[in-house]
Amino acid sequence: MITKGWDWEKNKDNYWLIPDNDVYFLSDHFKKLGYKKILDLGVGLGRHSIFFAKNGFDVSGIDISDFAVERLQKISQENNLNIDVVRANMMDLPFADNLFDVVFSFNVIYHTDTKGFQTVLSEIKRVLKPGGEFYFTMISKNSWTFSSPEAPTRRIDENSIYIDGKESEKDVPHFYVNLEDIKNLFSNDFEFIAPIKEIETTEILSDGNFKEFSRHFVLHLKKK
């Protein structure tokens, strides 16, 4: 099983400081359901943990990066936010069974190989309450990085690759899925409570043109 976190000290993209638009809807949705305890699995630079804490949720967070954890701990203390963040591997979550109302994980849990993903998913199911919700992204096999022979990648297994080129993602594995994979991975233990979205990320080339870089599935499930 392979897992490795981003080197956040080398990140130069402000994208990772801004909460995704979906969290505004999710915050209202979770409040209406009476949910309180949220696990932000892979806090990164803290954008979503900070948002949820400022909106009254009891937030726990993990990241494998010392830099990410120390940064969020400092922000939390300075702003008196209810965020308990610890350094941990997503394959061995340091939490009790059935603890969280919500597991939220944005562009994180696919950073492993095929075997590792099975372990990550097992841990998420363990810590999420029955009836709790799981909101997350998976990277699509329709992505240029997975489907094009021209992509700067190294193969790990039939579903997983390394993407060369970005210093912050050096030797970080990526596990890819298609719709059939999603059905096989999640249908037994979760129900799908929202339509699956597939969104495209593009990069700007040196000549000013745009090129598709990756596609992600956005999934919103409920634990049976």
| pLDDT, tens digit (0-9, with 9 covering 90-100), for 81-124 | 999 999 999 999 999 999 999 999 999 999 999 999 999 999 99
- Amino acid letter, residue 72: L
* Of 191 and 9, more confident: 191
- Record: fold of 23-223: Rossmann fold (3.40.50)
Cα separation values, 73 from 7, 11, 57, 81, 152, Å: 17, 19, 16, 9, 35
**What mean pLDDT, rounded, does the chain reach?**
89
pLDDT at residue 150 greater than cutoff 80: yes
What is the 8-class DSSP label of residue 44? T
Asked whether the predicted pLDDT for residue 40 surpasses 80, the reply is yes
Cβ contact 145:162 at 8 Å: no
Q: Rounded to an integer, what distance in angstroms lies between the CA atom of residue 15 and that of residue 122?
A: 30
Q: Domain extents for the chain?
A: 23-223
Instruction: Give the predicted TM-score (pTM) of the model.
Output: 0.89
* pLDDT at site 11: 56
Please state the rounded mean pLDDT for residues 55-81: 95
**Residue predicted with more confidence, 165 or 126:** 126
